[in-house]
Amino acid sequence: MAINPKTYWISEEDYLQSELISETKHEYMDGQVYAMTGASRNHERIAGNVFGEIRNWLKGRPCEPFASDMKVKVGNNFFYPDAMVVCDEQNPHEYYTDCPVLIVEVLSKNTRRKDETTKRLAYFNIFTLQEYVLIEQDIVDVELCRRSKGWVSEHFFMGDEVCFESIGLTLTVEEIYARVDNEDVKTYFEEKRMALEQSV
């Protein structure tokens, strides 16, 4: 969802101030700001599904979920994850956090390269982060990277369950992809329907 950066350098303080009045969200990397474009229906469905399940799970618990309007600070950079969870924040800032335990990004053609490289490497340097999740929207594939497993990727597909150990929540891939319209989802439910009919 990022487009070309502005061509001049701005300070971290100026970036944070400008975001308060901007109608468009921007990410901030190495003194450059990158405008965020709109998301697709499938992107919003996946992000909403995951955030909704996390929010419901964390009701009455100490950890707090945030959706895509809250920034995460990594070094001198600021990003807008699609969802994240923060626990035991010592010095909370009103408009960003620097200590998430879980970060979720929904991949798109425009953001894939940054989410899989720049952001991945940056996020892995957050000392509190336990899990990084990348979710495809055009196919079914949930990639989960855990600190406890050396950030090695695990992939989950329709019929699987995904355990977010950092918050003790298990979701099915079906729940993550609820209402999503892509060929993998259609094929899975068609095969499920046919198997049910044959068993009757």
Over residues 52-78, the pLDDT tens digits come to 999 999 999 999 999 999 999 999 999
Write out the two tokens for 22. 């901007």
Residue 149 is given by DSSP the state G
- Collect all residues with Cβ–Cβ distance below 8 Å to 104 and sequence separation of at least 6: 47, 50, 51, 81, 82, 83, 84, 133, 135
Q: Is 13 exposed, middle or buried (0-12, 13-18, 19+ CB in 10 A)?
A: exposed
Strands 2-5 and 32-36 turn out to be antiparallel
53's tokens: 């399940």
Rounded to two decimals, the pTM is 0.91
Exposure b/e, 126-158, CB count within 10 A at least 16 = b: bebbbbbbbbbbeebbbbbbbbeeeeeeeebeb
| Domain residue limits, the chain | 40-199
Say which residues have a Cβ less than 8 Å from residue 5's Cβ, sequence separation at least 6.
Answer: 29, 32, 33, 34
| pLDDT recorded at residue 7 | 56
Give the pLDDT confidence score for residue 3 in this predicted structure: 45
CA atoms within 13 A on the CB side of 31: 5
Fold (CATH) for 40-199: tt1808, chain A (3.90.1570)
The residue with greater pLDDT, 90 or 7, is 90
**Number of Cβ within a 10 Å radius of residue 179:** 12
**Does 17 score more than 80 pLDDT?**
yes
